[in-house]
Protein backbone atom coordinates (compact mmCIF):
# COMPACT_ATOMS: atom_id res chain seq x y z
CA UNK A 1 0.00 0.00 0.00
CA UNK A 2 0.96 3.60 -0.57
CA UNK A 3 -0.14 6.67 1.39
CA UNK A 4 -0.55 10.35 0.49
CA UNK A 5 0.08 13.38 2.68
CA UNK A 6 -3.69 13.96 2.45
CA UNK A 7 -4.23 10.66 4.33
CA UNK A 8 -5.44 8.59 1.41
CA UNK A 9 -4.32 5.02 0.89
CA UNK A 10 -3.80 3.29 -2.45
CA UNK A 11 -3.70 -0.47 -2.94
CA UNK A 12 -2.81 -2.05 -6.29
CA UNK A 13 -4.99 -5.07 -7.12
CA UNK A 14 -4.54 -6.66 -10.57
CA UNK A 15 -3.65 -3.39 -12.37
CA UNK A 16 -6.52 -1.54 -10.63
CA UNK A 17 -5.90 0.88 -7.75
CA UNK A 18 -8.30 0.84 -4.80
CA UNK A 19 -8.48 4.17 -2.93
CA UNK A 20 -9.73 5.12 0.53
CA UNK A 21 -8.74 7.20 3.54
CA UNK A 22 -6.66 6.10 6.49
CA UNK A 23 -7.81 5.38 10.02
CA UNK A 24 -5.89 8.51 11.06
CA UNK A 25 -8.06 10.56 8.70
CA UNK A 26 -11.28 9.06 10.07
CA UNK A 27 -10.16 9.89 13.61
CA UNK A 28 -9.56 13.50 12.58
CA UNK A 29 -12.90 13.75 10.74
CA UNK A 30 -15.09 12.08 13.35
CA UNK A 31 -18.24 10.19 12.39
CA UNK A 32 -18.77 10.25 8.64
CA UNK A 33 -22.41 10.87 7.76
CA UNK A 34 -22.34 11.32 3.96
CA UNK A 35 -20.08 10.35 1.05
CA UNK A 36 -20.51 11.64 -2.51
CA UNK A 37 -18.76 9.26 -4.90
CA UNK A 38 -17.75 9.82 -8.54
CA UNK A 39 -19.55 8.16 -11.44
CA UNK A 40 -18.15 4.97 -12.92
CA UNK A 41 -16.53 5.78 -16.26
CA UNK A 42 -15.34 9.22 -15.15
CA UNK A 43 -11.82 10.08 -16.29
CA UNK A 44 -9.91 11.90 -13.55
CA UNK A 45 -6.68 13.82 -13.33
CA UNK A 46 -4.34 13.67 -10.34
CA UNK A 47 -5.23 16.27 -7.67
CA UNK A 48 -8.74 16.79 -9.09
CA UNK A 49 -11.57 16.76 -6.52
CA UNK A 50 -13.27 13.39 -6.78
CA UNK A 51 -15.08 12.55 -3.53
CA UNK A 52 -16.86 14.73 -0.97
CA UNK A 53 -17.09 13.51 2.61
CA UNK A 54 -19.25 15.06 5.29
CA UNK A 55 -18.64 14.27 8.91
CA UNK A 56 -20.02 15.57 12.16
CA UNK A 57 -17.03 17.94 12.27
CA UNK A 58 -16.56 19.13 8.68
CA UNK A 59 -16.89 18.58 4.96
CA UNK A 60 -13.76 17.41 3.17
CA UNK A 61 -12.74 16.83 -0.41
CA UNK A 62 -10.77 13.81 -1.53
CA UNK A 63 -8.52 14.41 -4.51
CA UNK A 64 -7.68 11.87 -7.18
CA UNK A 65 -4.24 10.50 -6.24
CA UNK A 66 -3.47 9.42 -9.82
CA UNK A 67 -4.71 9.91 -13.39
CA UNK A 68 -7.12 7.31 -14.70
CA UNK A 69 -10.67 6.07 -15.15
CA UNK A 70 -13.07 5.23 -12.32
CA UNK A 71 -14.04 1.58 -12.86
CA UNK A 72 -15.99 0.92 -9.63
CA UNK A 73 -17.33 2.82 -6.63
CA UNK A 74 -18.28 1.51 -3.21
CA UNK A 75 -22.08 1.79 -3.49
CA UNK A 76 -22.46 0.45 0.08
CA UNK A 77 -21.27 3.84 1.36
CA UNK A 78 -24.44 5.49 0.02
CA UNK A 79 -26.51 3.66 2.64
CA UNK A 80 -23.83 3.23 5.29
CA UNK A 81 -21.16 5.97 5.17
CA UNK A 82 -20.05 5.03 8.69
CA UNK A 83 -18.40 1.97 7.11
CA UNK A 84 -15.46 4.30 6.46
CA UNK A 85 -15.08 4.82 10.23
CA UNK A 86 -15.62 1.14 11.02
CA UNK A 87 -13.19 -0.33 8.46
CA UNK A 88 -11.23 2.43 6.72
CA UNK A 89 -8.66 0.15 5.09
CA UNK A 90 -11.13 -2.61 4.20
CA UNK A 91 -14.87 -2.24 3.54
CA UNK A 92 -14.65 1.58 3.72
CA UNK A 93 -12.85 2.04 0.38
CA UNK A 94 -14.20 4.77 -1.94
CA UNK A 95 -13.41 3.89 -5.55
CA UNK A 96 -11.30 1.80 -7.89
CA UNK A 97 -9.36 3.48 -10.65
CA UNK A 98 -7.67 2.09 -13.74
CA UNK A 99 -4.47 4.15 -13.78
CA UNK A 100 -3.27 5.71 -17.01
CA UNK A 101 0.22 6.00 -15.47
CA UNK A 102 0.80 3.51 -12.62
CA UNK A 103 4.22 5.04 -11.93
CA UNK A 104 2.43 8.01 -10.31
CA UNK A 105 2.09 5.77 -7.23
CA UNK A 106 5.88 5.65 -6.86
CA UNK A 107 5.96 9.14 -5.35
CA UNK A 108 3.79 8.22 -2.37
CA UNK A 109 4.84 6.96 1.07
CA UNK A 110 5.03 3.36 2.19
CA UNK A 111 3.51 2.39 5.55
CA UNK A 112 6.65 3.11 7.59
CA UNK A 113 7.04 6.57 6.05
CA UNK A 114 3.35 7.33 6.57
CA UNK A 115 3.51 6.29 10.23
CA UNK A 116 6.49 8.59 10.70
CA UNK A 117 4.60 11.37 8.87
CA UNK A 118 1.61 11.18 11.24
CA UNK A 119 3.95 10.85 14.22
What is the DSSP secondary-structure string of 3-44?
Answer: E-TTSEEEEEETTEEEEEE-HHHHHHH-SEEEEEPPPTT-EE
Prediction pTM value? 0.95
Q: Which residues of the chain have pLDDT under 70?
A: none
Topology annotation, domain 2-100:
OB fold (Dihydrolipoamide Acetyltransferase, E2P) (2.40.50)
Q: How many CB atoms lie within 10 A of CB 48?
A: 13
Q: For residue 88, what pLDDT is reported?
A: 96
Q: For residue 100, what pLDDT is reported?
A: 97
Domain ranges of the chain: 2-100
Q: For residue 103, what pLDDT is reported?
A: 94
Amino acid sequence: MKYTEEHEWLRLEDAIVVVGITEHATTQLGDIVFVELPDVGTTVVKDEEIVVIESVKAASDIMAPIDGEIVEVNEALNDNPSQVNEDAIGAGWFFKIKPSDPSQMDGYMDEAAYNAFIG
